[in-house]
């Protein structure tokens, strides 16, 4: 399965595991600063992208604008980090590559984190940020919501909340290894446990319970895999075969398709959780970023 991977992927997989797996299993107060430091080491920011600190709906945020921006598209991005850590800064490198590939501005909001701010704080911030973008005069047709891991969960529950509240929907969703089932009922929690380079079932369960705020982990407000998915916009899902969250994506793609959603699933063999952060270093990451850019550009109308 890994024989077809590039030499760099075969190198960076173990390196990512060594650097990140212990950090991602740490308590939030340790996770956050360590993740910031490691992100600065392993991510590469491409030339030709301006990064600007902004405020969105009262929250810190970053705006990444490529020199060769085309049109008026904006990707509203919600970072991963198990709802316990992460920030626009930890994802800056990957988002700069996405901005270039899509020829679109990326706006990443620093939403509130658990355990200090359990559900629904992150969703409230994400929806408020969406409304703030609309208030700036941006058209919903020009907006895409993206996210990875817990941010993929948040992107999906935000789209569902917009639908249910009668608010304008984005033109598309980009979900990278989304965490769609906080109850961990997928079979890949067992079949990929030894192969996952970054996540552990125990760590996932701990994060889910800290974020849930007392709600059952199967509640569709937490686990959008169990929500009604009809009426959602065109969706791109990317997931690696070597991750415990594999079934979160496979089952989501199946359920969304049955609900009438135009969904594209890119299932990459031999790759790990959110490998796209290695953009600029690893050809598999660059290929996936290019696919995201093509998907976003294809939404223009």
Calculate the average pLDDT of the chain: 96
pLDDT confidence of residue 128: 98
CA atoms of 110 and 55, how far apart (whole Å)? 9
CA atoms of 136 and 282, how far apart (whole Å)? 36
Q: Of the listed 177, 243, 249, 284, which one is catalytic?
A: 243
User: Annotated catalytic, 62?
Assistant: no
Of 54-58, 135-139, 297-301, give the lowest mean pLDDT range: 297-301
Give how far Cα 80 sits from Cα of 16, 179, 191, 265, Å. 16, 9, 23, 19
pLDDT confidence of residue 1: 42
CA atoms of 292 and 301, how far apart (whole Å)? 17
Give how far Cα 66 sits from Cα of 52, 61, 69, 102, 148, Å. 11, 17, 5, 9, 21
Of 17-26, 62-71, 103-112, 271-280, give the lowest mean pLDDT range: 17-26
For the chain, give every domain's residue range.
Answer: 7-297
CA atoms of 293 and 287, how far apart (whole Å)? 10
What is the helix (H) or strand (E) element at residue 106, kind and residue range? Answer: strand 105-109
Query: What topology is assigned to 7-297 in CATH?
Result: Rossmann fold (3.40.50)
The number of CA neighbours under 13 Å toward the Cβ of 61 is 25
The number of CA neighbours under 13 Å toward the Cβ of 144 is 30
Q: Of the listed 16, 87, 149, 288, which one is catalytic?
A: 149
User: Annotated catalytic, 284?
Assistant: no
pTM exceeding 0.85: yes
Q: Do 135 and 258 meet the contact criterion of CB atoms below 8 Å apart? A: no
Over the stretch 38-91, which tens digit does the pLDDT of each residue have?
998 888 899 999 999 999 999 999 999 999 998 899 999 999 999 999 999 999
User: Once rounded to an integer, what is the mean pLDDT over residues 157-163?
Assistant: 98
pLDDT confidence of residue 41: 87
User: Once rounded to an integer, what is the mean pLDDT over residues 10-21?
Assistant: 92
Query: Angle 158-72-121 (CA atoms, 0-180°, nearest 5)?
Result: 20
CA atoms of 153 and 245, how far apart (whole Å)? 12
pLDDT at 99 over 80: yes
């Amino acid at each position: 399965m890994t024989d077809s991977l590039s030499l760099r992927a075969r190198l960076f997989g173990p390196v990512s595991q060594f650097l990140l797996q212990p950090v991602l299993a740490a308590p939030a107060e340790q996770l956050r600063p360590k993740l910031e430091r490691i992100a600065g080491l392993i991510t590469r920011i491409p030339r030709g992208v301006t990064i600007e600190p902004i405020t969105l709906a009262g929250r810190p945020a970053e705006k990444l604008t490529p020199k060769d921006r085309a049109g008026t598209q904006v990707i509203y991005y919600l970072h991963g980090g198990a709802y316990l850590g992460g920030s626009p800064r930890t994802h800056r490198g990957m988002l700069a590559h996405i901005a270039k590939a899509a020829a679109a501005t990326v706006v990443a909001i620093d939403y509130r984190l658990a355990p200090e701010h359990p559900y629904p704080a992150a969703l409230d911030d994400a929806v408020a940020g969406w409304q703030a973008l609309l208030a700036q005069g941006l058209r919903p047709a020009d907006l895409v919501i993206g996210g990875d891991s817990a941010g993929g969960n948040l992107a999906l529950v935000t789209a569902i909340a917009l639908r249910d509240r009668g608010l304008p929907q984005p033109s598309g969703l980009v979900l990278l290894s989304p965490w769609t089932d906080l109850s961990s009922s997928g079979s890949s929690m067992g079949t990929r446990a030894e192969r996952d380079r970054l996540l552990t079932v125990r760590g996932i369960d701990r994060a889910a319970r800290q974020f849930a705020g007392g709600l059952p982990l199967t509640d569709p407000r937490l686990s959008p895999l169990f929500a009604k998915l009809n009426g959602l916009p065109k969706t791109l899902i990317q997931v690696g075969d070597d991750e415990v969250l594999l079934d979160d994506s496979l089952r989501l793609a199946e359920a969304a398709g049955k609900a009438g959603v135009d969904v594209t699933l890119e299932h990459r063999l031999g790759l790990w959780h959110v490998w796209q952060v290695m953009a600029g270093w690893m050809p598999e990451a660059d290929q996936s970023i290019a696919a995201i850019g093509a998907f976003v550009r294809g939404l223009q109308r």
